[in-house]
Structure 1
């Protein structure tokens, strides 16, 4: 790898300048378009300050590129920054939890990509990021750090040889991968309806309308046009049909661009999740870095027999960039297929259907537990007494409706909640309208907690909680279980002491 310090790719300057332009476009429109002929002192000084800030930002971008360097050896990243006050940061490869690659349209134009090595550390510098890096160099870094076998002598030569065709390099990288899932056209259509992406165009149009109204004050003109349309039933019908057709096409296109090249693959030691056609994102994680598995179902997915599976890990970036959630296996998997894929990519994990339900007395505890949301909302409704659709006493109808929804949610939560733990695994299922099935191994659980309030003591119940490494730290609780289960749960976790050595090697 890099024996000496080197600067990041020069395209990084261009990427930062592009980000600066995107962040400044609103001020440009306001100061130089909307207020073009303004003689206001505020606008004049605003323009001066704007140019000063842009100049300082450009200088800062150039200085940052000049002063930031890195070096990669056999065990660690070494990151250097600072022009006058210099600092060095070392991140061992053993701290890296997962790898994220993102290739946008701009990256494709310059034949580069971005790659982030995410650690389990919580500070702001926990991620080693290369926002613009040649694809071959990204392949080298990932292979070197994640030990995919690409950096072995014969394979590494194939990847690094500049005369080798690109497809040969790619084949060398993926030759040891097994593909577990690729969505079909039928599954993509099903995903469009399940995710309601066919309706996403409507809020976009509404948002654009309000923005145009604020900038160009076209509200009265649009209002007059709306009145004309509503008085013509045939014109209104045509517009509604066109809007629905456009929404469906837009939703299908959005789903296809997001999930059209979705792929779940694995090697002997790693899991690879790739998605995106125009903008491609790849998530790579070592199997031994998976802290837990979460399977979630919304009401719609439950009716259709679909589930979303997420891999929980300690890695993650907190840099504020808009990133696609890529640690999820395909979000619209049939339940049986999801279980099959989990058993294939993570054979050391167990997901069982045999679980124990809560005792009947837990239902009464949940139903009669005070709802501060309902109490606070009812107080506001009683004070303001809003009229809805001309009904002056609508406040108590809204209050009763909210109370009924809370009761239904608690009933569903009781019937959905179940648990099991045996050998090295624990599994919780919770949730009302949306359910969550959480599975983790004992050696991946950092700590456990058992608590009892006054009511639980009277009824012989308790609450148990697990803590897993994640960003943020993952707390998973199961409330109102028999107190005997809490005692067994604590004894079960104590046996983790025999497995600590396994965890220390990660």
Structure 2
């Protein structure tokens, strides 16, 4: 075994440095003491100690890399690590939930790949193992993984490539303006460092010209439509942020390809960051058919996969099937995951439950316009700003009210062939979750005093996945819910 062990890429040495940066506190403390007691001459007399600390940090990082070795075959993955305390770890290939590789743009010229291994054993917020490899070595490990998951007689292999239009819809409806704004601000602030002063000056001049143009446009809008300049400024910032987030999402999901075999699923895609995932079918926790209010009106659906090792980082591919029409979405889902099909509702809220869904979002819809009117009367000089602020705050409130109303119309639960279908909403999204019965960890039947009198209850279903995932369904009949989940013996009877 020892002669088969392989080192990770030497670039890992530089990434191991941060683990020992706490040692820099020693030269920092020495420098402060020297400045207070003896001045520069005293500090220079002990500079050899600082150099020794720097050398020790690099030596520890090198030894960390030198003592990390791994070996992988079709049955297991083995690695050893530790400078002073050696640790050996064996992971059965069957226990590796997801083996994934990522190659960001900066790695591509150097032929580097980041490899992740995820299991159910360790913390859900980070991979069990993360290392840097040469691209050829990462391809070899991924080929071993595929070979281990595919039997020779395995004839089931289905490949699906979403249309570019579906990926554009995904980018349009899931792009977050805040992410784009942060990206633009970070890019501009570091443009001088990355590309030199000339590009920074060019960007500054370009933004100045854009600002002058926006100032002229905002003046026209203020004259024609009485739109205050601050409204134009905020709208321009949000639009620019959304456009940047749209481009990032598009580049992260472009070239998406999903392949299903009997035991596994393989997902590839991305341009800015090239990604590849290999996961066991049995390790899928659930699928989430997700809609916003806008996509619900356009009858567009997207499918998100919840599995161990998927979606841990912002650059991960999250959408299993991008936005597409209902029939196309159902066809792709039936080809790739025929086991996961949404069944018709068997239990749903009654018509009298509508206020249970609408009461919480209704208060902001009433209070925000009322508060805006009161403040406008008290502060007439701030009228344009207050009206615009009230409008901006009212929009998400009324949007949330619309989501809750659609939730009332579609909410419910059903069970068929070992799979539960849960329909509910969280914040601004409508969810249709298909969840295997074996992946339910806990079912919480909850009754408020009002619900107890009406024989209703809320369901909180905790699913077995990475981290804590709760599915909340509102105001369902108590007896029907208890009977559907087979909890007659454990649930208390209605008084």
Q: Normalising by the residue count of structure 2, what TM-score does the alignment of the two structures yield?
A: 0.69
1:130 deviation in Å? 3.0
8 Å CA contact 2:158, 2:335 repeated in 1: no
1:138 deviation in Å? 4.0
Does the residue aligned with 1:131 lie in a helix, a strand or coil?
strand
Q: 1:290 aligns with which of 276, 284, 291?
A: 284
1:9 deviation in Å? 2.9
8 Å CA contact 2:103, 2:275 repeated in 1: yes
1:20 deviation in Å? 11
1:128 paired residue number: 129
Provide, for residues 143-169 of structure 1, a one-character-per-residue CA deviation record: whole Å limited to 9, x for no partner.
24772349x7xx9xxxxxxxxxxxxxx
8 Å CA contact 2:342, 2:432 repeated in 1: no
1:413 deviation in Å? 2.6
Whether 1:310 and 2:290 are equivalent positions in the alignment is no
Whether 1:478 and 2:478 are equivalent positions in the alignment is no
1:308, 1:493 → 2: CA distance?
35
Provide, for residues 422-463 of structure 1, a one-character-per-residue CA deviation record: whole Å limited to 9, x for no partner.
341211111274211111121222332222221211111012
Q: Are residues 86 and 15 of structure 1, via their aligned partners in 2, closer, same or farther at CA, if it must alter by over 3 Å? A: closer
Q: 1:391 aligns with which of 365, 383, 405?
A: 383
Provide, for residues 375-405 of structure 1, a one-character-per-residue CA deviation record: whole Å limited to 9, x for no partner.
9999x99999995971399599689888766
8 Å CA contact 2:74, 2:148 repeated in 1: no
2:407, 2:290 → 1: CA distance?
14
1:231, 1:474 → 2: CA distance?
47
Whether 1:182 and 2:162 are equivalent positions in the alignment is yes
Q: Normalising by the residue count of structure 1, what TM-score does the alignment of the two structures yield?
A: 0.68
Q: Are residues 178 and 50 of structure 1, via their aligned partners in 2, closer, same or farther at CA, if it must alter by over 3 Å? A: farther
Q: Are residues 52 and 296 of structure 1, via their aligned partners in 2, closer, same or farther at CA, if it must alter by over 3 Å? A: farther
2:423 paired residue number: 429
8 Å CA contact 1:314, 1:469 repeated in 2: no
Does the residue aligned with 1:291 lie in a helix, a strand or coil?
strand
Does the residue aligned with 2:271 lie in a helix, a strand or coil?
coil
User: Alignment length, in residue pairs?
Assistant: 440
Provide, for residues 304-339 of structure 1, a one-character-per-residue CA deviation record: whole Å limited to 9, x for no partner.
322221122234587xxx552324213323322222
1:163 paired residue number: none
8 Å CA contact 1:105, 1:278 repeated in 2: yes
Does the residue aligned with 2:132 lie in a helix, a strand or coil?
strand
2:356 paired residue number: 365
2:428, 2:384 → 1: CA distance?
31
1:488 paired residue number: 483
1:81 paired residue number: 81
Whether 1:91 and 2:91 are equivalent positions in the alignment is yes
Q: In structure 1, list runs of 5 or more residues that go unmatched.
A: 22-39, 156-173, 495-506
Q: CA-atom RMSD, angstroms?
A: 5.4
Whether 1:466 and 2:448 are equivalent positions in the alignment is no
Bigger CA drift: 75-84 or 135-144? 135-144
